[in-house]
Amino acid sequence: MSKSIKSKENWVELLLAWSSCLDRELPWRERYPRNPYYVWVSEIMLQQTRTEAVKPYFNTWIHKFPTVHDLAYAEESEVLHTWQGLGYYNRARNLQRAAQEVESKYGGNLPETRSELESLPGIGSYTAGAILSIAYGQREVAVDGNILRIYSRLYNIEEDIMKSKGKRKITQLVEETLPIPAGIFNEALMDLGQEICIPKYPKCGECPISMACDAYVLGKEKTLPIKTKKKAPKEYYVACALIMKDNKFLMHKRADKGMLASMWEFPMIIDESADKSVHDLFILWGEESNVDSIWTYSHTFSHQIWHMSAYLIKQKNQIVLDKNLKWFSSEEYMHIPLAGPHARLAAWAKKILK
């Protein structure tokens, strides 16, 4: 063990003591040892999503799909609809694909080895480590963005945490400091990263291990971690058609592959030019009944920004329906998986229907 780690060996105990006093009501932590299925679902939901936002989604998910078996045999449309609002819909698809594999290969029980877990769709090194340590009590690390941030500050790591060298260095430190039981420690680190050691403005005055933190002692807590900046998301203009008939809206199902696959949306045109998106929308779907948009909204994905506008359209030609083009009432479209921000438009558009 390195001198740096030896000199700080008591910080682990301080962290565990702090975490044990927290009163965080998290539905996936109702008992110990944890339910492996609950740990798995919660960790997938928590990717790119705040804890408080996840709670109601997790409760609804477990109510609809209480076991791996229930998830494996559910309709994909129901799975996507239940996930609606969390974004990154491939996470939901992978959950179901993995559940089907767990059901067929492991009798509905999540496997207890890292290699088997990481072979399942959507389960990477972090999620596997979380399941193994938290649910199965194994001494396994679970290194995500929170842990990279905490250790870069704690040990003054100046390598880029988004690059392999920085990740390897921190993972080694985590392995060296990992106590038994590892699951409780990993949960404590998660709590610290979500509550105290947050990005940009860490709450060092409330941190139970601040005196063991190199970044805090050196006044570098706001400059660490070092992290590669992401490319700015590309901006697009999305014109949406609100076409009504018999108190229903026309909706279109997206392709089975690609962004927002198999989700339903209002007919739309997307383009880098705002004028062209609107022009092409009217040519394709009919004549506008209102030259101005009646709804606007900007939605940020991880790699794109959609500047959306919606228009009332009078259909010009007879619309030929098929499996990917249907009429839905407001009651009906609240039960289908809606593509990203189209759910927001659908909620707003209800007031137009009588």
- Complete DSSP assignment for 207-263: -TTGGG-HHHHHT-TTT-S--PPPPPPEEEEEEEEEEEETTEEEEEEPPSSSTTTT-
The answer to whether 43 is a known catalytic residue is yes
The CA-atom distances, in angstroms, between 6 and each of 12, 13, 148, 170 are: 11, 13, 20, 16
With residues binned 3-state (H G I as helix, E B as strand, rest as coil), the percentages for the chain, rounded to 5, are: 45, 15, 40
Which single residue is written with the structure tokens 């339903």? 264
- What whole-number distance in Å separates Cα of residue 22 and Cα of residue 51? 15
End-to-end CA distance of the chain: 71
- What whole-number distance in Å separates Cα of residue 330 and Cα of residue 352? 10
Which of 9, 13, 30, 43 is an active site residue?
A: 43
User: C-alpha dihedral over 151, 156, 159, 164, to 10 degrees?
Assistant: -20
Which single residue is written with the structure tokens 């606007």? 296
Copy the structure tokens of residue 49: 């999503």
Active site residues: 43
